[in-house]
Amino acid sequence: MMKTAEQNYRDRMQRVLDYVDQHLDTDLDLESLSRVAAFSKFHFHRQFTATFGVTVQRYVQLARMKRASHRLASNEERSVTDIAMDAGYHAPDAFARAFRRRFGQSPSSFRKSPDWAPWLAAFGPLDNARSKLMQITYNHADVTIRDVPATPVAVLEHRGDRATLDATIKRFIAWRKAAGLSPETSPTFNIFRSERTPANPADYSMDLCVGTGQPIAADDDCMKAGIIPAGRCAVLRVVHDTHNLEPAALFLYRDWLPASGEEVRDFPLYCRRQLNFFNDAAVHDVVVELFLPLK
């Protein structure tokens, strides 16, 4: 079957991403990457930014910084200076400043004890860019039905426009950090009490939760104690574009639920965000499980 013009365009852009991943130690300038895509160097920068929502330079910087953080956390026998050079920095202090600005830790501190919450947040633009070319489809075999136990959680309620959600997330991260509840050991849950984009933006409603049985002080002005109830759930695992679960939710409601014969119970759709080990190293990516509560 012949490719459409759009498919051909996407394939050429995907070629660039693959090339960057495989050649992080080379000079990934605009001209060389435009040649990989077979696009004019005079327009490629704008084409890339329009497609991925991030500039070529920013994408390469993030890819190199992600590899550098992997090397630090996996305790490779490589000096910080060598890792800095491989990341495109000519001086370790410049690398250290950039690393601290992005992750809130020095490279040596991250190597000893990584703080994964800001690490996950820092690579949102990189993950979003990669997801732009992925044709994400789900099928009924991707859904499992699971009996979920009751889960005690600490809850931070976000009510109001999604434009203010970043401030709520920062409060949530600061609280869990002070409480010693790392994403590495304590799961993160989001309970979706409204649509992602309600007709009235002020009606947006979501709970940010961290799994914990520890008591919450009555005068805590940030969090309150809550529970995710036990029960049967349809579970869909999401590994791409985990910042936007709308396509996965739409599949569950529009396709899976009518065909399953199941009925939903009175608890909102929610997800569990978890850190995932890969390459047998002490480094993580995020995987999300989306839960649709069933009767």
* pLDDT, tens only, 36-75: 999 998 899 999 998 888 899 999 999 999 889 888 887 6
Q: Is the pLDDT of residue 20 over 60?
A: yes
Comparing 103-107, 134-138, 208-212, which segment has the lowest mean pLDDT?
Answer: 134-138
Helix (H) or strand (E) holding 8: helix 5-22
Determine the pLDDT at residue 280: 39
Q: Which residues pair with 294 in a beta bridge?
A: 264
7 band by pLDDT with thresholds 50, 70 and 90: confident
Query: Are 233 and 146 a contacting pair, CB within 8 Å?
Result: yes
| Whole-prediction pTM | 0.66
- Residue type for position 103: F
117 band by pLDDT with thresholds 50, 70 and 90: confident
Domains and CATH numbers, the chain: 5-131 (1.10.10.60), 140-293 (3.20.80.10)
Collect all residues with Cβ–Cβ distance below 8 Å to 32 and sequence separation of at least 6: 26
Cα–Cα distance, 24 to 84 (Å, whole number): 13
Q: Is the pLDDT of residue 133 over 90?
A: no
SS3 category, 78? coil
Give burial (CB, 10 Å; 0-12/13-18/19+) of 259. exposed
Determine the pLDDT at residue 134: 62
Sequence-ordered alpha helix ranges (H) in 92-219:
92-103, 107-112, 116-122, 124-131, 165-178
